[in-house]
Amino acid sequence: MPSPIFIKIESNVQAFVTELAALVRAAALDSVQAALGGSPARRGPGRPKGSGAKPAAAGKPKRRAKGARRSSENVDATAAKFLAFVKANDGKRLEEISKGLGIDTADLKLPAKNLLAAKAVRTTGAKRGTKYHVAGGGSGSGAGTARKSRAKKA
């Protein structure tokens, strides 16, 4: 008849073998699922970590799709901000106004053009050196105004 210690050792070994077999089965199942693409969390080879879809940042407004048009209300609201900034900071370039308002330079070009057409602002300088001023004040001709014509030689 086997001793009680031998019986206890045999039962512990049997429990260990059973647990080990269950772990081997689980590991095999996981590797088969990963090989067949059953796990949605796995990235493909070569894809960088975090390259999946990310939730939009709460504080930043959504960017417009490329080529999408802004509403006239949006352009008018931006023009009002632009004009208020120019009144407070006369003689700034578009990049400086963009930085001051926290609006992309490309999004300020149309409102600036509309304000120039409405003669609410005037400009001095050319190209990147163009500075915006409140219309009606100060001297200086605006960029894009009529040039003096030369007299033709007879």
| 40-58 confidence digits (pLDDT tens) | 555 667 767 766 666 655 5
Q: Residue 106 domain-assigned?
A: yes
Q: What is the structure's pLDDT at 40?
A: 54
Angle at 129 between CA 127 and CA 133, to 5 degrees: 105
**4-25 per-position pLDDT tens digit:** 888 999 999 999 999 999 999 9
Model pLDDT, residue 122: 93
Q: What percent of the chain has pLDDT over 90?
A: 47
If asked whether residues 76 and 128 sit together in one domain, one would say: yes
- Asked whether residue 143 is assigned to any structural domain, the reply reads no
Q: Residue 57 domain-assigned?
A: no
Query: Strand, coil or helix: what is 112?
Result: helix
Question: Does some domain include residue 87?
Answer: yes
How many domains would you assign to the chain? 2
pLDDT digits (tens, 9 = 90+) for 77-91: 999 999 999 999 999
Q: Tell me whether residue 80 is in a domain.
A: yes
pLDDT number for residue 46: 72
Better-predicted residue by pLDDT, 100 or 40: 100
Report the CATH number at residue 120: 1.10.10.10
Contact 131, 91 (CB under 8 A): yes
Query: In this structure, is residue 107 part of a structural domain?
Result: yes
How does the average pLDDT of the chain come out, rounded? Answer: 81
- Cα separation, 65 vs 68, in Å, equals 5
Q: Which domain holds residue 29?
A: 1-37
